[in-house]
């Protein structure tokens, strides 16, 4: 009986520790990943502002060859909306909509239905490094309420890895 009490106490203490740690983890976070592409800014920007081009470099879209995509509006303009639905839970169901385009920046609102509901924001920032080199930065702006903000540590790593691969794919496509 004494061993069972110690085990239960240990589990409760571990849970309390996690909840205390979560108090000190920010609820809002940004994941930012960059790469340099050996192409002029205008060429890179014209490519990335076309959301349909993500089918060629986004690991999430490419993960499911049977993904169903739906598009509304004019691609590359404010208001354009791309929706996806996949039976693969790693891809899930959701949409992204262009909310702003300025010289070198595209902002989108993300809406997720599956595997978890949520709304987030993201941006792609394109900056000239030189006449024939362009820095592309992919940013994801997340929010997790307490105590789920504890999971944002894992989520940030997952998003960083995915965005790094997306930018590597984009670089390969544009530099070919």
Note the pLDDT tens digit of each residue in 58-108.
998 899 999 999 999 999 999 999 999 999 988 899 999 999 999 899 999
Structure tokens at 129: 């490094």
CB 133 within 8 A of CB 35: no
Is residue 12 over pLDDT 90? Answer: no
CB 100 within 8 A of CB 109: no
Closest by CA position to 173, among listed 61, 64, 56: 56
Structure tokens at 102: 């300025």
Is residue 22 over pLDDT 90? Answer: no
Reported pTM:
0.86
What's the mean pLDDT when you consider all of the chain?
Answer: 92
CB 164 within 8 A of CB 32: no
Note the pLDDT tens digit of each residue in 138-163.
999 988 888 888 777 777 888 999 99
Please give the Cα distance from 122 to 94 (Å, whole number).
14
CB atoms inside a 10 Å sphere around CB 116:
10
């Amino acid at each position: 009986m004494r061993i069972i009490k110690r085990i239960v106490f240990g589990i409760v203490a571990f849970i309390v520790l996690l909840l205390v740690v979560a108090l000190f983890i920010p609820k809002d976070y940004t994941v930012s990943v960059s790469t340099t592409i050996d192409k002029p800014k205008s060429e890179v920007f014209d490519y990335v502002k076309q959301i349909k081009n993500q089918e060629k470099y986004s690991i999430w879209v490419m993960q499911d060859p049977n993904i169903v995509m739906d598009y509304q509006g004019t691609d590359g303009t404010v208001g354009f909306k791309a929706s996806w639905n996949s039976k693969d839970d790693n891809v899930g169901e959701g949409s992204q909509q262009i909310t702003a385009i300025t010289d070198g920046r595209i902002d989108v609102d993300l809406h997720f239905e599956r595997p978890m509901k949520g709304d987030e924001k993201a941006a792609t920032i394109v900056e000239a490094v030189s006449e024939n080199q362009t820095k592309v930065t992919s940013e994801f702006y997340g929010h997790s309420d307490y105590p789920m903000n504890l999971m944002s540590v894992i989520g940030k790593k997952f998003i960083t890895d995915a965005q790094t691969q997306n930018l590597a794919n984009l670089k390969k496509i544009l530099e070919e």
